[in-house]
Amino acid sequence: MDERVVAVFIPIVFFLVSGLIAVVYLYLRSRERQMLIEKNLDAEAIKEFFNNKRNYDPFRLLKFGVICLFFGLALGFGLMLEDATGADYWVPFLLFTITGLGFIFANLLARKMDQKGDQ
């Protein structure tokens, strides 16, 4: 195929997929609420259900930041080693290993901060 034809389809596919994701999300959210109403739950029970559902991790931004930091370090070290050695495998290898270490480190850090907050 011609590159110009492919370039035209990229934004079209992007907006179709984005719209489909938004429609499915809204439909499923509406369906969930409809099922709660069909169970004859009162307003207090529905409110409690949605408040329990929003129980989120207070350290999620810290975890995301640590993971992004490790991802950037992996990318930088991988590119430096690729330039130094000429081997093409350093970037994907270091991206997976160091980002995996970042996930582990972020989890351990959040757990330690959570224990410190409980005391």
pLDDT 10s digits, 75-87: 999 999 999 998 8
Taking only the tens place, the pLDDT of each residue in 2-17 is: 788 888 899 999 999 9
Residue range of the domain that includes 40: 3-53
Residues 48 and 97 in one domain: no
43 and 90 housed in the same domain: no
SS3 content of the chain, % helix, strand, coil (to 5): 85, 0, 15
Q: Are residues 71 and 47 in the same domain?
A: no
Indicate whether 100 and 80 sit together in one domain: yes
Q: Is the pTM of this model over 0.75?
A: no
Same domain, 84 and 40: no
- Residue 32: CA atoms inside 13 Å, Cβ hemisphere, count? 10
- 113 φ/ψ sector (left φ>0, alpha ψ -120 to 50, else beta): alpha
Same domain for 18 and 64: no
Q: Are residues 48 and 7 in the same domain?
A: yes
Total number of domains constituting the chain? 2
Question: Are both 112 and 87 inside the same structural domain?
Answer: yes
Answer yes or no: is pLDDT of 119 > 90. no
State the Rg of the chain over Cα: 23
Residues 6+ apart with CB under 8 A from 66: 102, 105, 106, 109
Domain boundary among 53, 69, 86: 53
49 with 67, same domain?
Answer: no
Please determine, for residue 23, whether its predicted confidence score (pLDDT) is greater than 70: yes
